[in-house]
Structure 1
Amino acid sequence: MVDMHGNSPKTLRQDLLKQRKEFASGSGFASTKTSLIAGLNHFLANEDRTIRSIALYWPIQDEIDLRPTLLRWMRSDAQRRLALPYARPDKHLDFYEWQEGDALIPSAHGVPEPSPENTARPQLIPDCILIPCVGWSSSVVSGKAHYWRLGYGGGYFDRTLAQLRKNNPNLICMGIGFDWQKLDDSQWAAQTHDEPLDMLLTESGLLS
């Protein structure tokens, strides 16, 4: 458990990112990554018939790299598609098809992203979105568990998910995180504008 009582969200993010950097350079990181990717493969195998397109993320700041796993998933079926997010000036995300080797452009935050001008890679609405967590929390509402993501503070995913869920009620939004990133109410609580995750994947397995 992260001991950060009373910190502001900004300070909390900085502390969590520092801790993630230390964790990623530690001896246990490789086995943690292996366990998490095994959980992702299990999910993909079980959802084989319902998911045809997945939006992933380009890993930054010691996030787990899921690209090799997802490229293998895509290449095993000609109908499958991968997509990467493009950050619009209005702080919403659009998703464009991505294939290995595509030329990408740096976003305003320095994250490689697809170019909307690339006519060979159309925009798509994904069936599933994988979102990295800086931290996460859970709550129980009417007997059902809900999972919440602490991100980088830009609000892009919350705005985007609210709209996408109207367009695609079957959208699966999965947070990617680690067990130790879990926060309690004294550290951080989701706000009214925060969109819940449908699932959360850590090295311990899939929480839904």
Structure 2
Amino acid sequence: MHGNSPKTLRQELLKQRKEFAAASAFPQIREKLISAIPEFLTGEGKALRTIALYWPIQDELDIRAPLLSWASNEEGRRLALPYARPDKHLNFYEWRDGDSLVPSQHGVPEPNPNNQDRPIINPDCIFIPCVGWSSSTENGKAHYWRLGYGGGYFDRTLLALRKKNPKLICVGIGFDWQKLDDAQWSAQTHDEPLDMLLTESGLLR
């Protein structure tokens, strides 16, 4: 049973994710999910030029390999990692494999904002890991929502970036078992929806 508070819910989900990552079935599920990323990049994402990803922590799915492969296959493709600003927004700095990273106040490896060789970029697509997720339907259309760590960084950043680029694609990365019902958690007015959600069952739109 999940507790009533979002904090308790997050703690329970993170505990479950740790146990899930250690289970014998996890490698097969991980490969199934990761293999869907190239399919997206050669399909709906074929026009993308800049993609923001995340540095995996706390048993988050590591999606760096397929995105590094994507970036290396064509000149002009760029990857970016988030940097948490003091005002709880994110900047995305260009990232290349082998770059030195610095730990944030939360212990997350981040790009060095003082590296003049790695500029801020506005991505065409953002991959975001989920602690949990939910779905809702409005006017016959499905919407997907992300439960994160509670800092609100991504929601603030997505709101600002979508004003600049309405075509921005935000893809949540999660697992089927992380789906939450309304009794456990429901999105709030400040939550920004995901454009797509990728789990081991495929790409949900």
Q: Tell me the TM-score normalised to structure 2 length.
A: 0.98
Letter of the 1:125 counterpart: N
- 98, 106, 111: which one aligns with 1:109: 106
1:65 and 2:62 equivalent?
yes
Task: Give the superposition deviation at 1:41.
Answer: 1.3
Write the deviation string for residues 28-80 of structure 1: whole angstroms up to 9, x where unpaired: 11011111011111101113542011000000000010111110110001110
- For the residue of structure 2 that corresponds to 1:124, the secondary structure is coil
1:9 and 2:9 equivalent?
no
**1:41-80 to 2 correspondence within 5 Å?**
41-80=38-77
1:165 and 2:159 equivalent?
no
Change (3 A) 1:157 1:48: closer
1:188 and 2:181 equivalent?
no
Q: Tell me the TM-score normalised to structure 1 length.
A: 0.97
- For the residue of structure 1 that corresponds to 2:126, the secondary structure is strand
1:127 and 2:124 equivalent?
yes
- For the residue of structure 1 that corresponds to 2:159, the secondary structure is helix
Q: Which runs of 5+ in 1 are unaligned?
A: none
Which protein, 1 or 2, shows the higher relative CO under an 8 Å CA cutoff with sep ≥ 6? 1
1:155 and 2:141 equivalent?
no
Letter of the 1:32 counterpart: I
Give 1:21's aligned residue: 18
Give 2:32's aligned residue: 35
1:89 and 2:79 equivalent?
no
Q: Which runs of 5+ in 2 are unaligned?
A: none
- Alpha-carbon RMSD across the aligned residues, in angstroms, is 0.8
